[in-house]
Amino acid sequence: MPPLLETVTGYQTQATTTAGTYTAFTAQSGQSFTVRSADSDPAGDMFTPLASFGAAGYLQVKSARMHDVSIGTTFPVPVNTAFPQFNNLQDYTYEEPIWNVDTLTVQSTTVASQTGSTSYLVGLQMYYTNLGSATQRMMTPAQVTSYDNPASKIGDHYISWVRPSSGATAGVQGTGVAINSVNDQFYADGFYALLGYLCPVSFGAFLLQGIDTSNIIVGGPGSSNPMETRDFFVRLSNAQGLPLIPVIKANNKASTFVYVADPATTSTAFTVGLIWQYLGSLAGGAGIIG
């Protein structure tokens, strides 16, 4: 059975906070902090979490099956006015085992008590090793480069642009836009590897969803630092030694969407560049996971 990557984001806004008192995140509509029912146990791993806080604090993820049931794993998080806005809290090799249908408690506190309203966003990168019939088209960097054929324009890079908006409520995932909504230069029947993306202005989370991701959301930090995002999926895949580069078939472009979740804005459009590598027709999909 195939593996699967999912980025689960959650949000909260607090009118005031008390330092040392934890408050829970709410998962996005259609998502959950409960580990999916998998065909193995452990179900997989949680990679490095992502977070964007309106005040410096701590992100805590815990469950009855983690090493420490009362503290779990706790990460310091800087205030999101720092660059980049949405932070990887560990390096790309971080792994925390996740257990079949385990319910995660995902919560935060602040270093100093806050008297004003502050908003917070978290992203959990959940990798499942054996998730039933769900399939995603994913490749390793080596698989992507193995299709290079300059004479046939295969291996060429191509950047498209989209303009998704943050939600009407701070931290809530906004309305998605199709990957061909601004410019459309995808070759019919072609496959495209999404190596990374560009964010001219920082926001919270970059999120992608479509047929080729098994309609599961995958994403990363919305940092305006191109060194962080331009090869995000390549770096994650290399560090984990797993096929984690999304591959999208051009015929699915109108039903593949980019979303933004941002704790600092509401109903704000952000320009996002999508960095693709053209893979040709792949002989019907050879070398693709899923």
Burial status of residue 13 (CB atoms within 10 A of its CB: 0-12, 13-18, 19 or more): middle
41, two tokens: 């146990």
pLDDT band of 286, cuts 50, 70, 90: very low
Specify the amino acid at residue 164: P
Q: What is the pTM of this model?
A: 0.93
Distances (CA, A) of 160 to 183, 192, 204, 208, 276: 6, 11, 20, 14, 8
If DSSP codes are grouped into helix, strand and coil, which group holds residue 2?
coil
15, two tokens: 């009118």
- Domain at 138-283, CATH class: mainly beta
Q: pLDDT by residue (tens digit) across 253-264?
A: 999 999 999 999
Q: pLDDT by residue (tens digit) across 174-196?
A: 999 999 999 999 999 999 999 99
Q: pLDDT by residue (tens digit) across 226-253?
A: 988 999 999 999 999 999 999 999 999 9
Q: Is the pLDDT of residue 84 over 70?
A: no
Tell me the average pLDDT across 26-51.
94
CATH architecture of 4-128: Sandwich (2.60)
Matching CATH topology for 4-128 and 138-283? yes
Give the residue extent of every domain in the chain.
4-128, 138-283
pLDDT band of 40, cuts 50, 70, 90: confident
Specify the amino acid at residue 89: L
Please give the pLDDT value at position 290.
41
Q: Are strands 245-249 and 191-198 parallel, antiparallel or unpaired?
A: antiparallel
DSSP track, 12-35: EEESSB-TT--EEPEEPTT--SBP
Tell me the average pLDDT across 137-152.
93
Q: Which residue has the higher pLDDT, 161 or 72?
A: 161
